């Protein structure tokens, strides 16, 4: 059931990211909803759910935004794979672990997309990409701080409620 929920959630997040989220841009900061929710879902539901989210969400973004097929999926697979590897290190602070993970992995994902787009299309001429990406990373991190604990608590409650009594 979790892979199906992951696929449906990633598709919905991709649709929202390309339709509603551009209206919520603050200055030059643009929210990466598929990435943020993917990191939160990976921490909450595990590596399999995260990788399904990355693949389906990345392909949905590529098809809907007419990007090179597989470019977003590649960046999300690397980023959410990193989240799955780093999440156990932050198990003591699991409720807030999406915050530092999103901060780091948003940079990783954005830089990977710059490299992939530069390889597949014309190179992107940005003399300081880190300074350009920082507002979006901060925006992503703020969303992770708001949604991360809620999603993790709801997921944990649902899993605890579905276990048989011992």
* Residues comprising the chain, all counted: 166
**165 domain-assigned:** no
Q: What is the pLDDT of residue 157?
A: 87
The pLDDT of residue 142: 96
Has residue 166 been placed in a domain? Answer: no
Residue at 163 is within a domain = no
Q: Is residue 164 part of a domain?
A: no
Confidence at residue 27, expressed as pLDDT on a 0 to 100 scale? 84
pLDDT computed for residue 132 by the predictor: 87
**In-domain check, residue 124:** yes
What pLDDT does residue 127 have? 78
pLDDT of residue 26: 87
What's the alpha-carbon Rg for the chain, to the nearest Å?
16
Q: What is the reported pLDDT for 164? A: 62
> Does residue 143 lie within any of the structural domains?
yes
> What tokens does 135 get?
């507002």
Q: Are 140 and 105 in contact (CB under 8 A)?
A: no
Please identify every stretch of the chain with a pLDDT value under 50, giving residue numbers as ranges: 166
Burial of 54 (0-12, 13-18, 19+ CB in 10 A): buried
Give residue 2's pLDDT. 80
Alpha carbon distance 52, 114 (integer Å): 23
Q: What is the domain extent for residue 73?
A: 2-158
Between helices 98-120 and 129-162, what is the axis angle to 10°? 130
Structural domains counted in the chain: 1
Helices marked H in 20-165 — which ranges? 33-45, 47-65, 71-86, 98-120, 129-162
- Give dist(CA 42, CA 44) in Å, integer: 5
> Which among 43, 39, 47, 46 has a CA at the least distance from the CA of 10?
39
Q: Determine the pLDDT at residue 1.
A: 61
Question: What is the model's pLDDT at position 162?
Answer: 63
User: What is the predicted pLDDT for the residue at 87?
Assistant: 95
Q: Is residue 107 part of a domain?
A: yes
Cα gap 141→164, rounded to integer Å: 36
CATH code of the domain containing 56: 1.10.1760.20
How confident is the prediction for the chain on average, in pLDDT?
91
């Amino acid at each position: 059931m979790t892979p199906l929920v992951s696929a449906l959630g990633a598709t919905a997040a991709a649709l929202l990211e390309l339709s509603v989220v551009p209206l919520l841009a603050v200055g030059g900061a643009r929210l990466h909803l598929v990435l943020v929710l993917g990191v939160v879902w990976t921490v909450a539901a595990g590596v399999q759910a995260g990788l399904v989210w990355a693949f389906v969400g990345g392909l949905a973004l590529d098809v809907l935004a007419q990007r090179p097929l597989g470019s977003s999926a590649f960046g999300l697979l690397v980023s959410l794979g990193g989240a799955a590897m780093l999440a156990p290190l932050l198990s003591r602070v699991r409720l807030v672990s999406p915050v530092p993970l999103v901060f780091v992995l948003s940079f990783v994902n954005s830089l990977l997309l710059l490299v992939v787009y530069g390889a597949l299309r014309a190179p992107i001429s940005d003399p300081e990409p880190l300074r350009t990406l920082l507002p979006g990373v901060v925006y992503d991190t703020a969303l992770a701080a708001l949604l991360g604990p809620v999603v993790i608590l709801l997921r944990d409650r649902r899993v605890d409620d579905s276990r048989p009594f011992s």
